[in-house]
Structure 1
Amino acid sequence: MLSSVQINAHNHWVSVYEPLPNERETLFAKYEVTPDMLEYAIDPFEKSRVELDREANITLLIFDVFVPNANPDDDITAPLGIMITNNNVITFTNAQTNFVNGLIAELLPKFPNQNQSIKIMDLVLPLLMKLATAFFPPIRKADSQRKALQRGIRRQNNHVSINQFMELETNLVFILTSLQGNVALLQQLKRLMGSKLTTPHQELLDDIIIEAQQGLEMAQTTSDVVARISGAYSKVLDSNLNQTMKFLTVYSIILAIPPIVSGFYGENVDHLPFASHPFGWQITILITLIFIAISIWIMFNKRWWK
C-alpha cells in the first residue's frame, strides 16, 4: 500500500506498506527511488545503518524500533526504513512496524501546509526522538520483571523461574543490539549531515543521540544484572542437583550393605562366625547395623554430605 500526505507546497510524506509490483514502479518513476535502495528499505533483516546514494541524492536510514504488543514468536524489535529524497520523506513499514505511521500522523498537524519554512528534517528528527525514547518503557518493565522474579526465586528455586529469566535475557539482548545499532546510526548521521542541518536541528539530533545512549546504558545495566542473577541461580540449581545425587549415592551404598551380609550367610557356609548359633539371624542383623554405622561414620568424617 502506498499513500502520500502533503507537508507543504514542495514536500510530502510518503507511506509505503509492503509495496506491490505496481507500487514499486510508482516509487521508481514518481519518487525517484532506486531499486537497490528500495530493497534495502523493505528488507526485514537489515541492521541499523545509514545508506547513501549520492547520484540519486537519497539518504536511507535503517532505524530499529521497539515493537509494542509483539507476538511471543516474533522479535520485539524490527527495522524501519526512512528514506529522504529531494522533496520527500518516505517510510517503509510492514506488519510489525506499521504503528509508526500513527506516530507520524500525530506529528503532521504541527506542520501547516502553507508554511514554506518547514523542512523534511522537521518531521524526521522528532520521529527519531519518539522512536529512540520508546525503548525506555520496555527497559523499565524488564527491570521490574527482574525484581519480581528475583523475589519469587528467593522463596523457591525452580526451573520455571530460570526459564523466565532466560526469556527476559533474550528480550534484553534484542533491545541492546538494536540500541547499539541506533546509536551508531545517529552518530553516523551527525557526521554525514551535521554541516547541512540548521542549529535547532543539530541541537535536536544531539538530544536524540543522548537519549539513545541513555537507553543503551539502561539496557546494558539491566541485561548485565539479569545475566548475573540467571547464572547465579543456575549454579544454585546445579548445586542442589549435586547434593541430591550425592545423597542418592550414599543412600545406595548404605542399602547395599544388608544384601552383602545376608548373601554371605545365605551360602550355607558352615565355618562362618555365628553360622550355627541359635541367635544367628539376630546376630547377622546386628552385624549389618554395625557395618551401616561404620559406613555412616566414615562418610560424615570425610564430609561427603557437604
Structure 2
Amino acid sequence: MINFYSYINGVLTQCEAPSAGCWVSVVDPTPQEVRELIEDYGIDSGFVKSALDEEESSRIEREDEQTLVIIDTPVSAVDEDRTKNFYTLPMGIIVTDDYVFTISIRETQIINEATRGGIRNLRPDFKTRFVLQLLLRISALFLTYLKQIDKISSAAEQELHDAMKNELLMQLLALEKSLVYFSTSLKANEATIEKIFRGRVIKLYDEDQDLLEDVLIEMKQAIEMSSIYTGILSSMMDGFSSIISNNQNIVMWRLTIVTIILQVPNIMFAFYGINTDDIPFNYTWVALSLTAFLTGLTAFVLLKWKKKNK
C-alpha cells in the first residue's frame, strides 16, 4: 500500500497524488507497487529490497543522490497463549531530491502516529528534520516499551512469589528474549545515528543539530535502560530457577518420607503373613499394635531429623 502526505496549512494531509516535498508511505507493498517504486520514482532497487528485508540490520547508505537509512523500530505483540512479546522490525527511510519514502514490511506504531498527526510539526518538505523527528519518536518508543517490560516483569515477580505458574515463567522468558532483540537493535541504531551525526551522508543544518543530539541522547538512554533491565531480569530468572529447584527437592524429600513410612506396614504385614506357626505373638491384635507403633516411631524419627537439618 502506497500513500502520499504533504504539509498543507500547518497540517500533515493525505494526498491523492505525489508532489514535490511530500512523504510517500509504503507499507507491505505488492510486487507491482515495488516495480512502481523502482521504475516510476527511480528508487534504487537494492534500497527497496533492503528496506523490505526483515533480517536487514540498521545502517545508512548513499547511492546516486539517494540516501537510505534503515532503522530498527520496536513492535509489541500478544501470542495466542496471551504472552506479550516485544521485537524489532527494520524500516527503510529513503531520501531523494523530491520525496521522502518510508518503506516497511508491515504497519507499525511509528507509521500510525505519523499519519494520524501524533508527531508534532512533521514536515516532509524539510527532509532532514523529517528523518530526525522519526528517529526521535522511534527512540522514545523504545523507552516506552522498556518501561512496559519493567512493569510486566515486576507484576510477574509478585505473582510468582505467591505461586509458581508456567504462564508467568513463559512471560518472563519472552521478556528476556525481547530485551536481547532490543539491545541488539539499539546498538545498531546508535551506530547509524552517530554516522548521521558526523554529517557526511545526510546534509545537516544548524537548526537540526539540537534535534540530532536529542535523538542520540534518547538512544543512549534506551541502551542503558535495556542493559539494566536485562541484568535484573537475568538475575530474577536465575533466582526463580534456584527456587524451583529447591521446591522440587522439598517435594522429593516429602515423598521419600511418605514412602519410608508406608514401607513399615508392608514389612510387618508381610512378616505376619508367613504361613508358619513359629512366629512369636502370632495374634492379630499384636500385629496391628506393633505395626501402628513402629509406623508412628518411624514417622516421628524422620520428621524430627528433617526439622533438625533445616
TM-score normalised per structure 2: 0.80
The equivalent of 1:274 in structure 2 is 281
Shift of 1:221: 1.7
Give the secondary structure class of the aligned counterpart of 2:250.
helix
- Structure 2 residue 66 is matched with structure 1 residue 62: no
1:137-193 deviations in whole A, cap 9, x for unaligned? 222222222222333333334334323333333333333333233223222333463
Structure 2: 5+ residue stretches without partners: 9-18
Shift of 1:194: 7.1
- Structure 2 residue 24 is matched with structure 1 residue 20: no
1:104-141 deviations in whole A, cap 9, x for unaligned? 66368664x9xxxx642021111111111112222222
The equivalent of 2:161 in structure 1 is 154
Match of 1:35 among 39, 45, 51: 45
Match of 2:251 among 227, 244, 261: 244
Indicate how the Cα distance of structure 1 residues 236 and 140 shifts in structure 2: closer, same or farther if over 3 A, else same. Answer: same
Distance in 1 (CA, whole Å) between partners of 2:276 and 2:183 is: 75
Kept in 2, the 8 Å contact 1:12–1:87? The answer is yes
Kept in 1, the 8 Å contact 2:128–2:202? The answer is no
Shift of 1:234: 3.1
Distance in 2 (CA, whole Å) between partners of 1:281 and 1:46 is: 82
The equivalent of 2:2 in structure 1 is 2
Kept in 1, the 8 Å contact 2:73–2:138? The answer is yes
- Structure 2 residue 203 is matched with structure 1 residue 232: no
Identical amino acids, percent of aligned pairs: 27
Distance in 1 (CA, whole Å) between partners of 2:45 and 2:208 is: 30
1:206-256 deviations in whole A, cap 9, x for unaligned? 221110110121122223222322332232233222211211112111101
What is the one-letter code of the residue matched to 1:182?
N
What is the one-letter code of the residue matched to 1:72?
D
Indicate how the Cα distance of structure 1 residues 304 and 176 shifts in structure 2: closer, same or farther if over 3 A, else same. Answer: farther
Match of 2:94 among 80, 83, 87: 83
Indicate how the Cα distance of structure 1 residues 94 and 210 shifts in structure 2: closer, same or farther if over 3 A, else same. Answer: same
Match of 2:172 among 165, 168, 172: 165
What is the one-letter code of the residue matched to 1:297?
V
- Taking only aligned residues, the RMSD between alpha carbons, in angstroms, comes to 3.2
What is the one-letter code of the residue matched to 1:211?
E
Larger radius of gyration: 1
Kept in 1, the 8 Å contact 2:139–2:215? The answer is yes
Give the secondary structure class of the aligned counterpart of 2:200.
helix
The equivalent of 2:128 in structure 1 is 121
Shift of 1:299: 6.7
Give the secondary structure class of the aligned counterpart of 1:61.
strand
Kept in 2, the 8 Å contact 1:246–1:305? The answer is no
1:135-284 equivalences in 2 (<5 Å): 135-191=142-198, 193=200, 196-275=203-282, 280-284=283-287
The equivalent of 2:290 in structure 1 is 287
Kept in 1, the 8 Å contact 2:52–2:103? The answer is yes
Distance in 2 (CA, whole Å) between partners of 1:121 and 1:139 is: 27
Which structure: greater strand fraction? 2
Shift of 1:38: 1.1
TM-score normalised per structure 1: 0.80
The equivalent of 1:100 in structure 2 is 111
Kept in 2, the 8 Å contact 1:104–1:127? The answer is no
Kept in 2, the 8 Å contact 1:41–1:62? The answer is yes
Kept in 2, the 8 Å contact 1:158–1:237? The answer is no
